[in-house]
Structure 1
Amino acid sequence: MHTRHGRFWRSERGSAAVEFALVGPLFILLLLGSVVYGGWMWMAQGVQHLAAEGARAAVAGIDVNERASLARSAVSNSISGTTILDPEAVQVAVASDVGAIRVTIVYDASEHPLMAFSRLVPSPPQIIRREAIIRTGGY
């Protein structure tokens, strides 16, 4: 009986399964976190791109209303070429004064499929807000 008991403790059968059971869940959470935050950064970069495109287009406007219209049109055209952003979740605000044009994009990512995994890991912000400012005074 003593030898059988000793063989049991020296046996390494199943050790890989036990190690995976200990490390696997942590590895899977780390992988999910990478996917969620990577996707969020991709969305944030897309929102920043929309703000920059809107600001570039707004420069051509003569008055505040025309600048806002040009910015919204550029954002609408740019978002149709992306696959990660939902056009229905984008809000565009344009502020213009004598010295600068400010285009602000607010994107609600709460309904995005990537954010479904955010319940399993610490979540990035659900609202992505980015802005672009172009000076108009020539200084």
Structure 2
Amino acid sequence: MRPCTLVQRKHEKRGGASPRGEASPSSRLFRDKSGSVAIEFAFVAAVFLTILFGIMSYGFQFATRIALSYAVTEGGRAAVAGLDATQRQLYATNAINNALNAYTPIVNPAFATLDFQETEDAGGNRLEIAIDYTDSRFSFLPFIPTPEETIRVETTFVVTDPSA
């Protein structure tokens, strides 16, 4: 019986397992990995979610810019059919409003400011159509910078008289 007692004391001094199969408190602390996965997930999830919301924020802004670009070109195409400046502006405004209303989940037409200018030069009538759009709904996280506060999309059409 005596040698067993010496072996047991020897294991207790090293901090290892006792002959009964129990681990000492210090060795159990270093071998217990049950919470490490949760801590690793917390580190990775913070970075992953920041990247995910950044992609979503920029994606919404790019989709808004594409919708505004489409609306401006539709306004220009519709304006070409007008016979005078008043009719061209009316056609352009109606086409732009219809296009913006079609993109209502992404674009709020109330935030859009239309700018329509027509000048006459030797080549014909120059139509300059622009939309200024200000919307701050797409900044999900305050530490992710937004590209621009006001998005400006513009296009130029030249209307010529084919008979002249």
Q: Same fold (TM over 0.5)?
A: yes
Q: Is 1:63 aligned to 2:84, yes or no?
A: yes
1:90 aligned to 105, 112, 137, which one?
112
Q: Provide TM-score, normalisation by structure 2.
A: 0.73
List gaps (5 residues or longer) in structure 2. 1-11, 17-23
> After superposition, what is the alpha-carbon deviation per residue over 1:40-99, rounded to whole angstroms, capped at 9, x for unaligned?
111111111111111111111223222212111111122222221111111111122234
CA distance in 2, matches of 1:91, 1:101: 17
Are residues 1:38 and 2:56 paired?
no
How many percent identity over aligned positions? 30
Q: Give distance in 2, aligned partners of 1:93 and 1:62.
A: 19
Which is higher, the Rg of structure 1 or of structure 2? 2
Q: Tell me the TM-score normalized by structure 1.
A: 0.85
Aligned length, in residue pairs: 135
Tell me the equivalent position of 2:132. 106
Distance in 1 between residues matched to 2:128 and 2:81, nearest whole Å: 14
Query: How much does 1:137 deviate?
Result: 4.1
Alignment of 1:7-46 (within 5 A): 7-46=28-67
Moved over 3 A (4+): none
Compare 17-26 and 34-43 and name the one that shifted more.
Answer: 17-26
Structure 1: how far apart are the matches of 2:28 and 2:109?
Answer: 65
Q: Distance in 2 between matches of 1:50 and 1:135?
A: 18
What residue is the counterpart of 2:8 in the other structure? none
The structure carrying a bigger helix percent of its residues is: 1
5+ unaligned residues in a row in structure 1: which ranges? none
CA-atom RMSD in angstroms: 1.9
Aligned equivalent of 2:156, options 127, 133, 139: 133
Asked which structure has the greater RCO (Cα within 8 Å, sep 6+), the reply is 1
Bigger shift: residues 20-29 or 93-102:
93-102
